[in-house]
Amino acid sequence: MSIKLFVVDDHPIFIDGIVGLLKDIPEFEIIGTANNGQEFLDKIKNAQPDIVLMDINMPIMDGIEATHELKNRYPKVKVIALTMFNDIRFIKEMLEIGAKGYVLKNINKDELTKAIHTVSEGKPFLDSAVQEKVISDISSPEKDDFDDKEADAMVQNITSRELEILQLIALGMTSQDISQKLFISKNTVETHRKNLLAKFNVKNTASLLKFAYKKGLV
C-alpha cells in the first residue's frame, strides 16, 4: 500500500528536488505540490494525502497556520515540518499544533525516507540536529524573556483592536476566520499579527500567546 505525499514549499526548485529524491521509491506516491499554505488547503479538498512535507516560512499562509488549519479540517493527515529553521520556538509550535515530525532541509534521502516511514506508522520523528535542540532546551533552566517593567510597557503599547485580535488568536482562529468575524480584510489581520509580534519582540504565535497568557491579556 502506497504512502500518499504532498510537498509544500515556496521555492519550486526545492520542490523539484524533493520530488526527484522520492519519486523512485516504490511505496511513495507524490499526489501534489503547493507553494504556500492556502494553495495547499485548496488543493487537498478532494484528495487528502497521508503525509505532508511542510515548509514553515511561506507567503500568503505560512506552514504554522496551514498546519493548524489542516489539523482542524483533516486531523488524520500527518505533517512533517521540512524547514531550514532549527529554532526551538518553531519546533515547539509545530509539534504543539499537531506535526508528527520535524526535519531540516539538509537531511539526506535515507533519513527523509526513514522520517516518512516512521510518521506513517503514527510515531514521531525528529532528525538528530532537532533532537539536540530539544534536549538542550529541556536541560536549560527556564527564564523569563522580559523583566516586569519592560513587559508592562509592551502591554501598554498595544491598541484595543490589537488586543481584540490577540484574544481571537488565542481561541485558535485563523487570519481568515478573524477577518470574517471582524469584517476586515485578511491583509489587515496579518498586519495586526505582525505588529503584535514586533511590539512583544517575539517571533511566532506560540511565544506571543505565552507572553499574553503571562500578562493576563487572554
Alpha-carbon distance of 6 to 143, in angstroms, equals 38
C-beta contacts of 67-70 below 8 A and 24+ residues apart = 67/37, 67/94, 67/97, 67/98, 67/99, 68/97, 68/98, 68/172, 68/174, 69/37, 69/41, 69/174, 70/40, 70/41, 70/44, 70/98
pLDDT computed for residue 92 by the predictor: 86
Cell numbers for 156 = 501598554
pLDDT computed for residue 119 by the predictor: 97
pLDDT computed for residue 140 by the predictor: 63
Strands 51-54 and 28-34: unpaired
Cell numbers for 146 = 522580559
Alpha-carbon distance of 190 to 197, in angstroms, equals 11
Q: In the chain, what are the domains? A: 3-139 (3.40.50.2300), 148-214 (1.10.10.10)
Mean pLDDT in runs of 10 for the chain (218 residues)? 94 95 93 95 93 92 91 95 88 90 94 96 92 78 53 77 90 88 90 86 82 81
pLDDT computed for residue 10 by the predictor: 94
